[in-house]
Amino acid sequence: MKIEIKTQEQARKYFLKSGIIYNRITKQHLDLLNRIIDEKLSKNDNFGIKRCKKNKSTYVNDHLMQFDLCVDNPLYSKIKAISFNTDGVLIFFKWTNKEINKLFLDAFVLWVDVISIIQKTIKD
């Protein structure tokens, strides 16, 4: 991770500055985000939070239009933790627990770092 991200707004700006092209995000890229989130959740005291087995996603010609990474916790199911919307806007669920917020933000920043390298090295 290049810098420490503490807020959802900082994460959005980090994504925009990364050079990632939104409509070039593929299912494989989002599978990587799922794996990173799973790993972070399994290594931390996460208050019973688990990633949903099935996330909502929409692709056109194998490129992202919309994606919702959902999680379950002991009280609620299918909470949208990270959403990529059709207009290119990223939305993060704001947890009341700072440790959980940090877990999702750290996972997202790691994913941004990896995907920005992939997109820069692989041209269409």
What is the structure's pLDDT at 72?
A: 85
pLDDT digits (tens, 9 = 90+) for 54-69: 788 888 887 788 898 8
Q: What is the pTM of this model?
A: 0.86
Copy the structure tokens of residue 123: 């041209």
Any idea what DSSP says for residue 23?
G
Chain-wide mean pLDDT for the chain? 85
How many other CB atoms are found less than 10 A from the CB of residue 87? 7
DSSP H helices in the chain? 8-17, 27-42, 98-121
* Structure confidence at residue 101 as a pLDDT band (50, 70, 90): confident
62 in Cβ contact with 102 (< 8 Å): no
Looking at residues 66-85, what average pLDDT do you find? 86
Domain ranges within the chain, ordered by starting residue: 8-117
Four-point Cα dihedral 98, 45, 112, 117, nearest 10? 150
Copy the structure tokens of residue 27: 């299912």
